[in-house]
Amino acid sequence: MKKTRILYLGLILALVSACGPSEKTKQLMQDAKTSFGILPEKMPGSEKDTPARIALGEKLYFEKRLSINDSQSCSSCHGTLGKSAGVDNLPTSPGALGKNGDRNSPTSLNAGFHFVQFWDGRAADLKAQAKGPILNPVEMAMPSEAAVEKKLSEIPEYVDLFAKAFPDQDKKITYDNLAEAIAAFERTLITRDRFDEFQAGNHRALTSEEQKGLETFLSAGCIQCHNGPLLGGNSFRKLGQVNPYENTTDVGRSAITKNDAEKYFFKVPSLRNIALTAPYFHDGKVATLPEAVKKMAYLQLGKELSSEEVDSIVSFLKALSDKNRSN
């Protein structure tokens, strides 16, 4: 009798699972596609990338000899191996000479989809971004482009790799080519998550709790800033639109533009993989995702979210983690 009951319950569960989505879920799936759009298959600029250029860029990304004392690589602050999500999970990162930078290291995953690079947008694309840290005195601290080229030219392996990656150029090892190669590798760092599957029509890709979190995310107004396929990464916004942020040391975008109207403006971070990239904000001063959600609602929307609303949104955000990196 007991065995029959178990079989009967199993049959019911199988039938329920086989059923299609409810009308409410169908509408939510449609709202998700309309509100955010679909993450493209390839990054802008990848059409010119070759296997040789990507292979060179990958080696350079992990190359500590690009720093003044052979201690620091791109990967030191933007780890991508294993479960690493393109960050080092530190508030701010130590450089080659031991001094920490002023800002939290943003993830390199999906970075080529962003409309600009760095928190303040001072680099237009991945190639321009790759040139910055190597010469930054606080980061990798190399003295000049020429010094970088000389160092690489004395390594036979790189002489060969640059020749393969840039066969049509007279001078192979240049700082410009180095940056182009690193950018080519970074253009492969595209992540895929269960939210992509949900948007593509798999209603079971998100749990009922995560679907509720998506609804809360939309209704609370988070989408005002975190929109587009990356759920961010496509605009500048003032941190503290409604209520001021307590850290006023970093003026953000206005340090670049010299425009006081852009004081405390920063690039809106993408929420893809956000559950894996703690701590949060440009200064890395917010330790946990629930704290970040609650604080952002207060700062940007003037809303005091309940614990239930925070937990609901966090459950959705966790579904944005790359399937190969999430636990």
Q: Length of the chain, please?
A: 327
Confirm if 108 and 62 have CB atoms less than 8 A apart: no
Residues 6+ apart with CB under 8 A from 167: none
**CA 287, CA 145: separation in Å to the nearest integer?**
37
CA distances for 293 relative to 131, 156, 201, 202, 207, angstroms: 33, 50, 27, 27, 20
Pairing of β 236-238 and β 265-267: antiparallel
Look up residue 294 and give its DSSP letter.
Answer: H
Closest CA to 28 of 158, 211, 191, 152: 211
Which residue of the set 139, 149, 210, 262 is catalytic? 139
Judge residue 130's burial from the number of C-beta atoms within 10 Å of its C-beta, 0-12 exposed, 13-18 middle, 19 or more buried. Answer: buried
Q: Is 139 a catalytic residue?
A: yes
Name the residue with tokens 């989809």.
113
Catalytic residues: 139
